[in-house]
Amino acid sequence: MIDEPHADTDTPDTAGEAGRPPDRVYEAIRSQILSGTLSPGSHLGEEQLALLTNSSRTPVREALRRLVSEGLVITGQNRRSYVAEFDPKEADAVFEIRARLEAYSASMAAKRMTGSAPCRTRSKLSVQ
């Protein structure tokens, strides 16, 4: 019997963004796009991506939908997916806006913490 974690039985220690197959596939494809391994304009075939990420086509489809919503992937009229082409200046602007939004969100969350939440958060941050 092989001991493998299952997405529906994640414990708090193993649960996370990359725990579910679609999340793992999303992260793998996204990192390859951002690193340039998958270059702008490249066709993203579901079967090839499934082999590349050691998954089935269903998590690949879900990952591609997320990447389309983020603007990293485009879907052509023929329903094929491609790596989006973007201007480096535009990408810098998007990352700058995202960084500011994340900082603002963290600030708002910190202001709304009550009880022992600030202590738990500090202890988790000091561990990392």
Q: What is the CATH number of the domain that holds 43?
A: 1.10.10.10
The amino acid present at 97, given as its one-letter code, is I
Residues 32 and 59 in one domain: yes
Residues 60 and 98 in one domain: no
Which pLDDT belongs to residue 121?
A: 66
Q: Where are the beta strands (DSSP E) in the chain?
A: 73-75, 81-83
Between residues 127 and 89, the one the model is more confident about:
89
At 79-116, the pLDDT tens digits run: 899 999 978 788 788 889 999 999 999 888 888 877 77
CA distances from 26 to 40, 50, 90, 128 (A): 17, 11, 22, 24
Whether residue 3 lies inside any domain: the answer is no
47-56 pLDDT, tens digit per residue, is: 999 999 999 9
71 and 94, same domain (yes or no): no
Inside any domain, residue 113 = yes
What's the angle, vertex CA 86, arms to CA 85 and CA 90, rounded to 5? 170
To the question of pTM greater than 0.85 for the whole model, the response is no
d(C-alpha 23, C-alpha 16), whole Å: 9
The domain total for the chain is 2
Structural domain of residue 20, as residue ranges? Answer: 16-83
pLDDT of residue 73: 95
- Residues 32, 71 share a domain: yes
- Give the other-Cβ count within 10 Å of 22's Cβ: 18
**44 with 73: CB under 8 angstroms?**
yes
In this structure, the answer to whether residues 35 and 74 fall within a common structural domain is yes
